């Protein structure tokens, strides 16, 4: 048996071992393979980057656990960007299980053990500051710190529930909920996911309906994202951006070309591109899980391509194509 034949008859367990190595190593050693942001992702980033405390966005957790690996990093990246710019964020969930995923995404942004994260201040905790009165986001932060509160080392800033964030949670028949929010958000959600009265929250007083919201980013692993276009964009002119799985992305490029959506993050790569833009913009010190996941995915693809090329070289260099042709003649 020559070397080419040995290669073609290699024990498949060696291939599994190689795949395991290239998948595991990037989790411990950052490879830093290049990810170049595309225009469709940059369009979403640029719009969020143009907003401030007087604006607001919706982030819809419109996926279930089956697509969490692709969709969750997108939501976390947009949350970080919005909070860094003090853009008020409404969080909603299309599916019952998505509410838990949304809370997991928020928890990862509020984990102060990680440098660059944000400190979450629940609605009830800053009641005394609220009762004393404040005028605007900056005065609220000053009053909160004057009351003896300080940011932990490495934390990027405060996120005040009711001003910077309203987690609305899940409601059934969500398409009708979007339609209703075109008239009044608070009528659809009298309380948030934690039972707080939304009518009292400054974020609801400043943004009473979808006409007063500047962007909705829907993260979806199904056609649930289309509800935002049909009932948000078409009815009230709400700008919408998609964060969808890689296999869905090609279906929605026509919506970008027609101007029906602002832009799109497609799959894990789309989330990694957004993380790259955030790092370049100075909002994060380093890229996150999506970028590392792209290292894993890229290395695995490179290995598979190399094995395919080597297999074909071995097949022809070893003369096995001739043997196969002779067998077919017989």
- Average per-residue pLDDT for the chain: 91
Q: What is the rounded CA–CA span in Å between residue 90 and residue 19?
A: 41
pLDDT at 29 (0 to 100): 82
Domain locations in the chain as residue ranges: 31-287
pLDDT at 281 (0 to 100): 95
pLDDT (average), residues 40-47 = 97
Which residue(s) pair with 158 in the sheet? 119
Cβ atoms of 298 and 65 closer than 8 Å: no
pLDDT (average), residues 280-289 = 91
pLDDT at 314 (0 to 100): 82
pLDDT (average), residues 194-203 = 93
pLDDT at 8 (0 to 100): 78
- Collapse the DSSP code of 9 into the 3-class scheme (helix H, G, I; strand E, B; otherwise coil) and give the result: coil
Q: What is the DSSP letter of 110?
A: T
Q: Is the pTM of this model over 0.95?
A: no
Given pLDDT bands bounded at 50, 70 and 90, which one contains residue 327? low
Q: What is the DSSP letter of 161?
A: B
pLDDT in tens, 2-15: 677 777 788 889 88
pLDDT in tens, 206-227: 999 999 999 999 999 999 999 9
pLDDT in tens, 103-132: 999 999 999 888 899 999 999 999 988 888
């Amino acid at each position: 048996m020559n070397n080419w034949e040995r290669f073609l008859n290699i024990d498949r367990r060696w291939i599994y071992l190689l795949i395991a190595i290239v998948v595991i190593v990037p989790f411990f050693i950052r490879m830093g393979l290049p990810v170049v942001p595309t225009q469709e992702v940059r369009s979403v980033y640029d719009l969020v980057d143009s907003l401030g405390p007087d604006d607001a966005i919706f982030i819809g957790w419109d996926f279930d656990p089956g697509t969490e690996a692709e969709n969750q990093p997108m939501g976390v990246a947009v949350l970080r960007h919005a909070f860094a710019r003090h853009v008020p964020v409404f969080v909603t969930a299309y599916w019952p299980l998505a509410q838990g995923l949304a809370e997991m995404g928020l928890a990862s942004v509020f984990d102060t053990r990680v440098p660059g994260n944000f400190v979450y201040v629940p609605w009830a905790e800053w009641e005394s500051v609220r009762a004393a009165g404040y005028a605007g986001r900056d005065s609220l932060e000053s009053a909160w710190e004057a009351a003896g509160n300080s940011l932990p080392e490495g934390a990027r800033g405060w996120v005040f529930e009711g001003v910077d964030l309203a987690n609305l949670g899940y409601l059934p028949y969500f398409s009708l909920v979007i339609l209703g929010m075109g008239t009044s958000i608070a009528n659809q959600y009298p309380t948030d996911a934690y039972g707080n009265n939304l009518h009292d929250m400054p974020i609801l007083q400043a943004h009473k309906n979808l006409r007063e919201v500047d962007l909705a980013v829907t993260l979806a692993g199904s056609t649930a994202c289309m509800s935002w276009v049909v009932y948000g964009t078409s009815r009230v002119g709400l700008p919408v951006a998609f964060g969808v799985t890689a296999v869905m992305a090609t279906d929605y490029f026509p919506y970008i070309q027609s101007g029906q959506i602002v832009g799109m993050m497609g799959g894990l790569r789309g989330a990694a591109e957004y993380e790259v833009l955030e790092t370049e913009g100075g909002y994060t010190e380093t890229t996150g899980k999506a970028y590392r996941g792209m290292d894993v995915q890229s290395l695995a693809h490179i290995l598979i391509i190399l094995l395919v090329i080597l297999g074909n070289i071995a097949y022809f260099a070893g003369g096995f194509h001739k043997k196969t042709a002779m067998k077919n003649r017989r």
